[in-house]
Structure 1
Amino acid sequence: RKRAQRVGRGTAGRRGKTAGRGTKGVGARGKVPVWYEGGQLPLQQRLPKRKGFTNPFRVEYQPVNLDTIAETGLADVSPEALLERGLVSKGAMVKVLGRGSLDAAVTVRVHACSASARAAIESAGGSVEILPPAYAGPRPPARGNQHTNR
């Protein structure tokens, strides 16, 4: 194995003094940051700032369509029953949407329901009960860490 060349060990040796790095500038001093562009305005400063914000109180529902409910064959549809069948995740707020149709009467207890889904369920002889939200208080807890929205 060839020995590594020692550089910058005196002006008498090969590549003494500045060790082949030239004089001054970021390349002559320690590690060069990945984002460094030689003094040109960095990319993150050239691009415009993004507008808007993320609503920390946004409520997200997990959708379940009528055709999915019909496939399960359940007479009583609830978030717990859908969780057992792996159709929603734990602690999710469920919303029924109107894709598909129902043949049998079903009792649906969910957090939200679209107008078309409610009409289809009730025309099939079923009923819809809207559950209270999964969180306490008038609005959901803020997303983010302990320092967000304090």
Structure 2
Amino acid sequence: MSTPELPVTFRPTRTRIVLLSTGGALLAVLTALSLMLESFTTADRVTFIGTGLLGLAVLALLSRPKVVATEDGVTVTNLTTTRRLAWAQIVRVNLRAGDPWVYLDLSDGTSLPAMGIQTGIAKQQAIADARALRVLAETHGTGRSAA
């Protein structure tokens, strides 16, 4: 496999589309219902719209993960955290059968989930992205790969 051109962003695009579309539809339906039901008070309407906004916010949070590879290293953005790694810190890139997403074995002996490459809806894309990140880690760092 050839080395991908940097910078490159790995992100579960189909999953993002589904999550954000669902969130938008949820907000639209709850807003429309709150405005159409004449028996609703202002507080009821605010509650319905607030619930739609909360649902959209949660689904937007779930669509946040990504992995950005640059010449300097990798930035892993998961649900609520972002971690910057130098290439030398990545020992191995793992996506084993049954794993929900890629795991990065790090030089300090820990493992970091990289939720930006996940098998959910687009398994073949996740496998291709994991291979590309593995090639990058082998090219730019001291890592070695594992299936």
TM-score bin (small chain): under 0.3
Structure (1 or 2) with the greater helix fraction: 2
For CA contacts below 8 A with separation 6 or more, give which structure has more relative contact order: 2
Using the size of structure 1 for normalisation, the TM-score is 0.22
Length-normalised TM-score, structure 2: 0.23
Larger-gyration structure (1/2): 1
